[in-house]
Chains A and B, each alone.
Chain A
Amino acid sequence: MEYMILLHSDESAAPDFAPGSPEFDAMMGEWMAFNAELAEGGHMIGGASLAPTGTATTLHKSPEGNSTTDGPYAETKEQLGGYYLVEAADLDEALAIAAKVPIPFGKFEVRPIAFRPEV
């Protein structure tokens, strides 16, 4: 089974360490260890960290005509900040993977993939 883990968290609470600082290196080390663990376990299909919502543009598509607005689709405190696409035996394994994502607070939505074109 393939699952998408959508990482929603409060981006204003995200750590803002300067690259090169020991805190930044520690944080990156945690992420790299997590990614390596996913890859070694055969779980990693893909994933991404998104640029902050300040960079988002929402396209409103409709047969009457498209329009765009500045900002993310949903104005909520917790925003989609990234995702993982993983292979897992079942929902319990996918949830266990989601629990290990090194973000301390957030709402991580776990959804099975219904269909994904082979590339």
Chain B
Amino acid sequence: MATIEAALAQLVRQDAPRVLALLAGRYSDVHLADDAVADALAEAAKRWPTDGVPDNPGAWLNRVASRRAVDRIRRLDVERRRIRSAAPELHADPNETTTMHDMFLIDDPISDPNLPEDQLRLMFLCCHPALNRDAQVALTLRLIAGLTTDEIAAAYLIPTPTLAQRISRAKAKIRDAAIPLHMPSHLEHRLDVVLSVLYLVFNEGYLGRGEDPEPMRVDLCEEALRLTRSLVDLLPDHAEIHGLLALELFHHARRDARLDTNADLVLLPDQDRSTWHQGGIEQGNTALRDAMALKAPGRYQIQAMIAGYHTNATNADDTNWTRIADLYGRLVTIDPSPIAALNRAVAIGMADGPQAGLAALPNRDDLADYHLFHAAEAELHLMAGNVEPARTAFAEARRMARNPAEIRHLDRRIADIQ
């Protein structure tokens, strides 16, 4: 029984998204593909416990889902003809016909030559800029990562009906506004959207870690890494995808050191570096080298280089803050966000002393509501020996912070300087 459950879980997570991408590509219809795959998965759950797991589960799913798709097209066709004969005036184009697709691919989906292209097109559809960010994330996790609605809702700590409604609204917009399932003409811009969705998923997993120790909860970091890796395979010539992969790998390598046993935040300089995953760091270094060999710099690569300088330093004092400050300077020119400028100021403070760091802080008005601005200012003041301004800034940071682990951390810092 346990093996059947494991086989079904693998079918849902690994084979279902592939078959869905193939069917969506074949019929240019993501709804049909999603419904057909859901039918086939239900059939697997019903039949496998008695019939046993097929020799090639992926090929089985492909065959059954393809058959279900054709069944659905036939039913729809009958329905359409009935409506058309009942109300012909509603149909401006009487010559429109539905082609009958009877071609079955009984092969393992992985060996289908259309798979990479179909997966990419589906990924670009899920991350179409006409969908809002929440919808892009939900669709990507549901259709590309193969997570269930329950799993996504649990990962984001939102009620399942809310998430289900978000997905059905997005799917309705895809259908009603005719958002196309094709390769975008402006690939770089659209790829940027996909990368930001993947990084958002990763960060949700990273920042949410430890807040809800539910063991069955899907690890969004692992899911983001899996999706980023598959995107690297699909578009190997795009440097920024390798850059994002490196960035995620460097962060992920430090996953066990970020929180202590009380789920309290441990800052980078205080982390136990022996718990960092060396294999992950090596993979990050490789991904970063692959990115840089393509000679097309970008913000993910710069952030990965910064993360790489941190994660490759054997102890906190060995950190090359001068290089990191330079890299933040480059990041600010590409992505002129006040947060990048804040990080640059912190790095300058570490490299050239707290006075230089304080002088480099971005305009306070741009980040007045951002707790980390005040926390960084407080730390720089503390380094410079300005106790009272540090106290004031910490209090401001404490007032703005929302994450419980961060609040506890700030409380400790405030207590430290009493």
Residues of A within 8 A of B (CB): 1, 89-93, 95-96, 110-112, 114, 118
Contacts and interface: CB of A to CB of B under 8 A. Distances in A.
B184 A92 contact: yes
A95 B178 contact: no
A91 B92 contact: no
Interface string B168-179: 000000001111
Nearest to A111: B177
A115 to B, nearest CB: 9
Given A89-B180, A92-B185, 16 more contacts: A1-B178, A89-B178, A90-B178, A90-B180, A91-B130, A91-B178, A91-B179, A92-B180, A92-B182, A92-B184, A93-B180, A111-B177, A112-B176, A112-B178, A114-B176, A118-B92
A110 B177 CA distance: 9
Contacts of B180: 89-93
Q: Which of B92, B178, B180 has the most CB of A within 10 A?
A: B178
Interface in B115-134: 128, 130
Nearest to A95: B130
A93 B184 CA distance: 11
5 contacts: A89-B178, A90-B180, A90-B182, A92-B182, A95-B130
B98 to A, nearest CB: 17
B126 to A, nearest CB: 14
A96 B189 CA distance: 14
A91 B177 contact: yes
Contacts of A118: 92
B184 A112 contact: no
Interface string B15-36: 0000000000000000000000
Contacts of B178: 1, 89-91, 112
Nearest to A116: B92
A91 B179 CA distance: 5
A64 to B, nearest CB: 34
Contacts of B182: 90, 92
A110 B179 CA distance: 12
A111 B177 CA distance: 7
A90 to B, nearest CB: 4
A36 to B, nearest CB: 22
Contact of A112 (B92, B177, B185): B177
A49 to B, nearest CB: 25
Contacts of A93: 180
Q: Which of A1, A91, A96, A110 has the most CB of B within 10 A?
A: A91
Interface in B179-203: 179-180, 182, 184-185
Contacts of B177: 91, 110-112
Contacts of A95: 130
A119 to B, nearest CB: 12
Contacts of B185: 92, 96
A69 to B, nearest CB: 33
A81 B180 CA distance: 29
Contacts of B128: 91
Interface string B138-177: 0000000000000000000000000000000000000011
A95 B128 CA distance: 12
A114 B90 CA distance: 12
A29 B180 CA distance: 32
Contacts of A89: 178, 180
A89 to B, nearest CB: 7
Q: Closest 6 interchain pairs by CB? A: A90-B180, A90-B178, A1-B178, A91-B179, A91-B177, A112-B177
A5 B169 CA distance: 22
A89 B179 CA distance: 10
A118 B184 CA distance: 33
Contacts of A92: 179-180, 182, 184-185
Nearest to B175: A112
Contacts of B176: 112, 114
B160 to A, nearest CB: 29
A114 B172 CA distance: 13
Nearest to A118: B92
Nearest to B181: A90
